Homo-oligomer: A and B are copies of this chain.
């Protein structure tokens, strides 16, 4: 069952996917459903003895292309819609114990091509309005499978956070003679320099001045490219290089493989009123505030939407820069 319900108090959709309750939960490594299928072994999600990078539809999807029409409920306050969309799993490698940070730059570059391809193909579906590419990494984030993988949600609506960001960028453009909010932010960060972590030829990574997590980092395209699919070959190469350097730094920071959420914000594919304002970027939110303490999204963050951060971006960027081994 994939259903959307409208929350009239926050004016946003909430997605219900009841079959997800039964999803595979931290199986022992020898039963990993994301490994290749061994000869004579149990059938995994990938019916092959080896693979490079694989994309397939999530078996326990939050949205489904065939979601049934939901019956109305009569009450005008209670609006329902089918949870129509696509949820894909992206297997980064057949090596169960690897992580994105440990992969060769060439493999990350191939992943950039895969992400760009999925953005275009899923975005072209008429019921898809936003293609959201992300990775949840680590048990602290709630991952249920350790095999290195990311996910793609092709939503039937522009989700609240990118929507807010697009609206801010649209208004900024109108009020600032057509300037891009993200281009100006990036210029300010590079000019200030204190929060910059990695400077590539086409991409730069920094802890934003207004970070919501202590070790949050954003990876911005220097050129105002609206989506990952719009990146030229040299830009894709540099994105892979900058991601790799940042990720290696994350793992050096506390001396262990750092959990994080990685999310990509880019242009909606709905052809709607957000056209011409998106600026492709990747955001990382590691939950750790120290090596052994996590930042929880509790009462203030969840119930009030107000983030409290116990470290200044200038300090955390300095530590990250050191971990990355970048001179400044």
Min Cβ gap A183→B in Å is: 11
Instruction: Say how many copies of this protein the assembly contains.
Output: 2
A306: interface (CB < 8 Å): yes
CA distance A322 to B222 in the complex (A): 57
Q: A288-328: which residues lie under 8 A (CB-CB) from chain B? A: 289-290, 293-300, 302-312, 315
Is A254 an interface position by the 8 A CB rule? no
A25 to B296, CA, bound (A): 13
- In the docked arrangement, what's the CA distance between A208 and B10, Å? 12
B62 adjacent to A308 (CB under 8 Å): yes
Bound: A320/B112 CA distance, A = 46
Contact A192 B263 (CB under 8 A): no
Q: Which of A43-86 contact B (CB under 8 A)?
A: 62, 73, 75, 77-78
Interface size bracket, A side: 35 or more
Q: A24 interface residue, CB < 8 Å from B?
A: no
What is the CA–CA distance of A65 and B90 in the complex, to the nearest angstrom? 49
A211 adjacent to chain B (CB < 8 Å): yes
Q: Report whether A168 and B9 are in contact in the complex, using a CB–CB cutoff of 8 Å.
A: yes
Query: What 0/1 readout, one digit per residue, does chain A (124-143) give for beta carbons within 8 Å of chain B?
Result: 00000010101110000111
